[in-house]
Amino acid sequence: MASLGPSTAASATVRFATETDVPTILALIHELAAYEKASSSVLATESSLLNTLSFPPSPTSSLAPKPGFARTLLIFPATSANASENENECAGLALYFHNYSTWRASPGIYLEDLFVRPKFRGRGYGKRLLGELALETKRVGGERLEWSVLKWNEPSLKFYESLGARRMEGWVGMRVDDLKGTGEGGQGGEEGGELEKLGRWGRGVEWR
């Protein structure tokens, strides 16, 4: 088996985020946005994350997971002899949700965000998080793990390709935003965002 990294990524702790981790998740989102030169695009707040993410109960709870639209894996470094490092400091995250392939009639996982803080890079933590997602994909009977990468981010593209990922050159990503004028891709005017405009073609779906 190939080495996971010089800092024993195999002994790092990976766990599902809980509601108490929301401040950390938001901080990591801001750090990722800064790296991608898109800090002004972040509209997430602790409240909106609490309302939309799925969180498992504590290990001692018999309650079902809190329903939401995405889950988050957090990775924490193994106990280090380096006094400047805190083993309770989160090193990175993988935020994902389930999708579906009609051609394969099987579920899959879409990785929305993968981020490892700069001070923890080069230790195999990114590989560890992707490895856990691959196992989760297989656990739910899935056959595909996918994500998007900015075209200019050549270091990340090469890293993912080294793990067996391939570029989907024949596909073009499409998006309709509901942001008005500013933010991530927002092109809307006073009448509302593009998602709202597109919704005017809808008439409501019947449940039977």
Reported as a single tens digit per residue, the pLDDT across 83-106 is: 556 668 999 999 999 999 999 999
CA distance 9 to 11: 5
State the virtual CA torsion across 126, 132, 135, 136 in degrees, nearest 10: -120
Could you tell me where the beta strands, DSSP code E, fall in the chain? 13-16, 71-76, 92-101, 106-116, 145-147
Contact by Cβ (8 Å): 7, 78:
yes
In what order do the strands lie in the sheet containing 92-101? 13-16, 71-76, 92-101, 106-116, 145-147
Q: Give backbone dihedrals phi and psi of 109, rounded to 5 degrees, phi first.
A: -125, 135
Contact by Cβ (8 Å): 88, 115:
no
DSSP 127: H
Q: What is the pLDDT of residue 185?
A: 44
Q: Give backbone dihedrals phi and psi of 140, rounded to 5 degrees, phi first.
A: -90, 10
On the question of pLDDT at 182 being above 80, the answer is no
List active site positions.
160
- Listed range (135-139, 165-169, 178-182) with the worst mean pLDDT: 178-182
On the question of pLDDT at 1 being above 60, the answer is no
CA distance 101 to 193: 29
**Partner residues linked to 16 by β-bridges:** 73
On the question of pLDDT at 159 being above 60, the answer is yes
